[in-house]
Amino acid sequence: MPSRPARNPATAPVSAVIGVDSSTQSTKAAVVDTATGRLLAVGRAPHTVTGQGGARESDPEQWWQALRTAVAAALAESGLDPAAVTGIAVAGQQHGLVTLDAEGRPLRPALLWNDTRSAPQAAALTAALGGENWLNRTGSVPVASMTASKWQWLRENEPATAAATAAVRLPHDFLTERLTGAAVTDPGDASGTCWYDPATQGYDPELLALTGIRADMLSTVAATGATRAGHLTADAARALGLPAGIPVAAGTGDNMAAAVGLGLGAEGLLDHPVVSLGTSGTVFAATRNRPHSALLAGFAATDGTRLPLGCTLNCTLAVDKVAELLGLDREDAVPGGEAVLLPFLDGERTPDLPAASGLLHGLRHDTTRQQILGAAYEGAVVAVLRALEELPLDAPDAPLRLIGGGAKGTMWVETVRRLSGRAVILPDSGELVALGAAALAAGAATGRDPVALATEWGTGEGRKLPAVPRDTATWDRVTSVLDRAAPALLTTHP
């Protein structure tokens, strides 16, 4: 659903909401017609990510400034009177560790989800309780991405900063607190910390004790559904140019918001898998079934269902880097032939190989640059689809909903079709994370179920591509190389 031209305020809808997607690379603010889900405008502002090797950091204050810039741009493009805005919600990149002093100021740049320096701490946490125990308690085994692992890294490497920390926030609830003054998160994003138990819907006291953090340092976890975190404060309203006092939803993580935007959940589609191709590659589905796999993060959804998710670190950016090295356009690729390329350029999360680097195997004299690039696509897609096989779904043959920047690329789409052997749906709507956040904002403003609202809006509908025969030869070749190489990749240093 592309952005529309600016409208005359006289014809503007009676009410609109703003959904914010604060991702790794940028902030997007979508102005959405509350009644129809029509995307009226999108404002954008970039983020800066710093760090070398395994480090990935951003200044949280930059996220707040980017939110202000993106909202102002969206309002200007929409032509709306700001008084028409009746609610706002933030969806953000998951897992990031934001440490605040007693005045609510960041003590250091946030450690982002794709910062792999905490891999040793993740391994130590896993060993302390055992992977099976972690799965039973949180639905996930600690990896470098998880917030608890990052907190352990901070305690060991920057003890003075850890000791000075009065509060720990996730990226999305840091921004929600700036909007409302209230430290509130939601079950979905909380479930990515490795401190939260989706079964009891609360922080696990033993896990907090194990990691040396107090519950009063963390955001309160809101109830499921269309929950208000609070109302827009006067200071935040002045900063954003919006009416003071409008409802602010509790918001959620970016993957949970995308699920809402697609209409997945108790009031919509259950057990229908989604493959998202972006900076990271993810596969997830809303289900009532309890996941139990070390390849998955056992997340909660925003509405009380579960959202098991597999995530790879290396997806579109890694393949684009291979294209750059080869001097090719990203679409100038063909199937890899005998070549196998595992594009683990930043280490990897699924499979858990945080110190890995890329691996190229099977070169011949007649191997072409285009085949090597095609092999990079295949390696990235196989890594995502292996996690798909672990999802505990009751609809095993449901089509894949393909979203993210990669879903706009022909080679990405055709590689997913060829290696999955499943039908694919390409939703017409863009900015699904922001649209999901907008549905949460509308739910907070109206009291309605956000998933049901998104279903009525039709934001998950799109073009369906039929299944093609599965390329089992390529699948077997890539998985064989991956399985044989994993022990060596585990000890490779970037």
Binding residues for substrate: 94-95
The residue with tokens 């994370």 is: 433
Instruction: State the sign of the Cα–Cα–Cα–Cα dihedral 72, 251, 439, 406.
Output: positive
Q: Are strands 297-300 and 306-312 parallel, antiparallel or unpaired?
A: antiparallel
C-alpha atoms less than 13 angstroms from C-alpha of 459 in its C-beta half-sphere: 36
DSSP H helices in 327-409:
369-388
DSSP H helices in 193-246:
205-211, 234-240
Catalytic residue among 254, 271, 303, 449: 254
Contact between residue 296 and residue 390 where contact means Cβ atoms under 8 Å apart? yes
d(Cα 258, Cα 434) in Å, to the nearest integer?
8
Clarify whether 271 is annotated catalytic: no
C-alpha distances in angstroms, 472 versus 103, 295, 417? 57, 21, 12
Q: Dihedrals φ, ψ of 401, to 5°?
A: -90, 120
Structure tokens at 57: 């950091």
Q: Per-residue b/e over 473-489, b at no fewer than 16 CB within 10 Å?
A: ebbebbeebbeebeeeb
Beta strands in 62-186 (DSSP E): 85-92, 98-100, 110-111, 167-169, 184-185
C-alpha distances in angstroms, 68 versus 7, 245, 330, 445? 21, 17, 33, 21
Q: Which residues are annotated as a binding site?
A: 94-95
d(Cα 299, Cα 400) in Å, to the nearest integer?
19
Radius of gyration of the chain (CA): 22
d(Cα 6, Cα 79) in Å, to the nearest integer?
5
Cis bond upstream, residue 159 (ω within 30) = no
- Nearest CA to 460 out of 261, 177, 228 is that of 261
Q: Which residues pair with 228 in a beta bridge?
A: 249
DSSP H helices in 145-213:
147-157, 159-164, 171-180, 187-190, 205-211
Query: Quick check: helix, strand or coil at residue 120?
Result: helix
- Nearest CA to 88 out of 444, 454, 356 is that of 444
d(Cα 333, Cα 461) in Å, to the nearest integer?
29
Contact between residue 125 and residue 279 where contact means Cβ atoms under 8 Å apart? no
Q: Dihedrals φ, ψ of 462, to 5°?
A: 180, -170
Structure tokens at 362: 């099977």
Please identify every residue annotated as catalytic.
254
